Amino acid sequence: MSNSPTNDELAGEDAVGLADRIRRGDLSPVEAVQATIDRIERLDGDLNAVIHKQFEDALELAASPDLPDGPFRGVPMLLKDLWAEEAGRPHHAGIQALKDADHRSTIDSNMVTRYKEAGFVIVGRTNTPELGLVATTESLAYGPCRNPWNTGHGTGGSSGGAAAAVASGMLPAANASDGGGSIRIPAAMCGLVGLKPSRGRVSMGPVKEEWGLSVQHVVCHTMRDSAAILDATAIPFLGDGVVAPDHGRPWVDQTGRDPGSLRIGFMDHSPRTEVHPDCADPTRRTAAMLEDLGHHVEDAHPPALEQIDELGWAFGVNWGVGAVLSLEHLGGQLGREVTEADVEPGTWFLAERGRDISAVDYARAQGAMSTFRRSMAEWWESGFDLLVTPTTALPPPPIGELTPTDDDPVRGSKRSMPYATFTSPFNTTGQPAISLPLGSSDGLPVGVQLVAAYGREDLLIAVGSQLEAEARWSDHRAPIHA
């Protein structure tokens, strides 16, 4: 096409804009997919973000009359190699044993079904830590994923491959999931928008269930992408265990909407760990920006966040039991009993600890998490609309700093704690939370987190759009960029 946009122009386009270009006939789905393939092949050698490629099949689907005519028809998509299963495709969850077995999924996850219905074209799968258990993407199976802002540093976890792919301009948005901060932490470290939706907003079936810590969505550059993709995918399936209430849908209409003057609290410290000044300062600056936008901002936060020792214990119990279940599932995939040699030392240690947890302690942990959830809800019910915190307590770490070792198998978990201290409480409560790229530290991005009451993604999207208009973060792209 003589008037076709250049690859550089397409690399800077968001998913909504790319879909608009395809609908107008400025480019075809094949051209959009081929441009993404070209960028992956050019950039991924430096980043190690895309670990499974399905380029030929993607081009065939993009050219097919059977490509669904959804809102994102022809827009490329990458799936995180954890829980987002696609029938016939590799699904290794960062595990060497599954890689060695060339394990392939037999089903499409419900989220993947929604992507396909929306017209997305899946071009491959992204790097993730083993079972998504730590805040860095450096599995033994696939090696470290590197930050496009500085390749000596990590991308966070567990959606690190997705974040590196989007931040480098390979494609505008990529699938991500969040069980303790795994959307928000990589978004913060790579300068992206990362929304963790409410519990039950997105179907986790048919393998996972909704009444858990994890939820899926995307990392992306713009508020309208986060909102419009949520509109396309947050459609319940029969049998979903939790379905979050709708407020303000379609959410894409919340971008640019004036939410009025909101009551917003902010918290720039943690009772569990020191907060780096480069992470605390953007939180205070964001609070001041929100005040300038007409909101009432005060130094206030839920008292329950100051008393989270029992929550930390309960979260650890849940994490350990989850590791046991994951290894049981792994045994079914391999068709044999899992041994210590099949997984990384941190995973094995966590599962062994999980096996020692009694049914009574597990029930106690669920009760403690329920009490925390109700206590947190009271603060929002008392009149607050949003809470502002750092996304992480520390800037992005150097490669290798968060990995477990044989001598110290819990090194990765322990060193991940400052990265999840502000994010994981809201996996327990099920509230929606978003990381926005509003800070930096020595040239590396850091994020600011906004949290709303359960089911109120509409407020996060409206206020996030106000901040986006002020900060214009998507004008600033990583040095390694298409």
Task: Please name every residue paired with 388 in a beta bridge, in sequence order, or none if there are none.
Answer: 266, 450
Secondary structure class of 30 (helix, strand, coil): helix
Please report the DSSP string for 366-418 in residue order. Answer: HHHHHHHHHHHHHHHHTT--EEEEES-SSPPPBTTTT---SS-TTHHHHHHHH
Q: Nearest to residue 99, comparing CAs of 43, 57, 145, 139?
A: 139
Q: Nearest to residue 36, comparing CAs of 208, 134, 169, 195?
A: 169
Total count of residues recorded for the chain: 482
Q: Nearest to residue 227, comparing CAs of 211, 203, 249, 246?
A: 249
CA distances from 160 to 37, 127, 153, 280, 340 (A): 19, 7, 11, 23, 25
- CA pair distance 415, 397, nearest whole angstrom: 10
Is 182 a catalytic site residue?
yes
* Residues 212, 214, 219: CA angle, nearest 5 degrees: 160
Secondary structure class of 59 (helix, strand, coil): helix
Q: Hey, how many other C-beta atoms are within 10 angstroms of the C-beta on 271?
A: 10
Tell me the residue type at 369: M
Is 64 a catalytic site residue?
no
- Helix 160-167 with 29-47: angle, nearest 10 deg: 110
Q: Among 109, 168, 177, 182, which one carries the catalytic annotation?
A: 182
Task: Please name every residue paired with 264 in a beta bridge, in sequence order, or none if there are none.
Answer: 297, 386
What is the phi/psi pair of residue 138, to 5°?
-145, 55
- CA pair distance 291, 385, nearest whole angstrom: 14
CA distances from 250 to 203, 230, 462 (A): 18, 9, 12
Q: Among 109, 139, 158, 413, which one carries the catalytic annotation?
A: 158
- CA pair distance 51, 44, nearest whole angstrom: 9
- CA pair distance 326, 330, nearest whole angstrom: 6
Q: Nearest to residue 195, comparing CAs of 148, 161, 233, 227?
A: 227
Is 80 a catalytic site residue?
yes
Catalogue the active-site residues: 80, 158, 182
